[in-house]
Amino acid sequence: MKNTKYTLLLVVLVGSLLPLHAQKFQGLALTPPMGWNSWNKFACDVSEELIRETADAMVATGMKDAGYEYIVIDDCWQVSRDSLGFIVADPKRFPSGIKALADYVHAKGLKFGIYSCAGNKTCGGRPAGRGHEYQDALSYAKWGVDYLKYDWCDTEDLNAISAYTTMRDALYAAGRPIVFSLCEWGNNKPELWAKEVGHLWRTTGDIYNCFDCVQNNGTWKAFGVMQIIDKQDGLSKNAGPWHWNDPDMLEVGNGMVSNEARAHFSMWAMLAAPLIAGNDLRKMTSETQSVLANKEVIAIDQDSLGIQGFRYAVKDSVETWLKPLNNGAWAVCLLNRSTSPRVVEINWKTFSVTDSLSNRILDTTTREQYKIRDLWLKKNIGDTRKTLKTTIPAHDVLCLKLFK
For position 282, what pLDDT does the model report?
A: 98
For position 17, what pLDDT does the model report?
A: 41
Taking alpha carbons only, the member of 111, 108, 75, 113 closest to residue 93 is 75
For position 351, what pLDDT does the model report?
A: 87
**Residue 171 and residue 165: Cα distance in Å, rounded?**
10
For position 22, what pLDDT does the model report?
A: 81
Residues ≥6 apart with Cβ < 8 Å to 71: 35, 36, 51, 54, 55, 58, 105, 110, 111, 112, 113
For position 350, what pLDDT does the model report?
A: 87
For position 21, what pLDDT does the model report?
A: 67
Q: Is 174 helix (H, G, I), strand (E, B) or coil?
A: helix
Q: Is 272 helix (H, G, I), strand (E, B) or coil?
A: coil
User: What domains can you pick out in the chain, each with its CATH number?
Assistant: 2-301 (3.20.20.70), 310-403 (2.60.40.1180)
**Inter-CA distances, 291 with 140, 169, 200, 208, 327, Å:** 33, 38, 23, 19, 25
For position 5, what pLDDT does the model report?
A: 42
β-pair partners for 131? none
Contact 45, 75 (CB under 8 A): no
Q: Is 173 helix (H, G, I), strand (E, B) or coil?
A: helix
Mean pLDDT of successive 10-residue stretches along the chain, which has 404 residues:
42 43 92 98 98 98 98 98 98 98 98 98 98 98 98 96 98 98 96 97 97 92 97 95 98 97 98 98 98 98 97 96 97 98 94 91 85 98 95 98 96
State the DSSP H helix or E strand holding residue 244, giving kind and residue range, or none if neither.
Answer: strand 244-246
Q: Which residues are catalytic?
A: 151, 206
For position 12, what pLDDT does the model report?
A: 42
Q: Assign 3-class secondary structure to 317-343.
A: CEEEEEEECHHHCEEEEEEECCCCCEE
Instruction: Give pTM, 2 decimals.
Output: 0.94
For position 365, what pLDDT does the model report?
A: 87
For position 201, what pLDDT does the model report?
A: 98
For 59-157, strand residue ranges (E) read 70-72, 78-81, 87-89, 111-117, 147-151
For position 15, what pLDDT does the model report?
A: 42
Q: What does DSSP assign to residue 32?
A: -
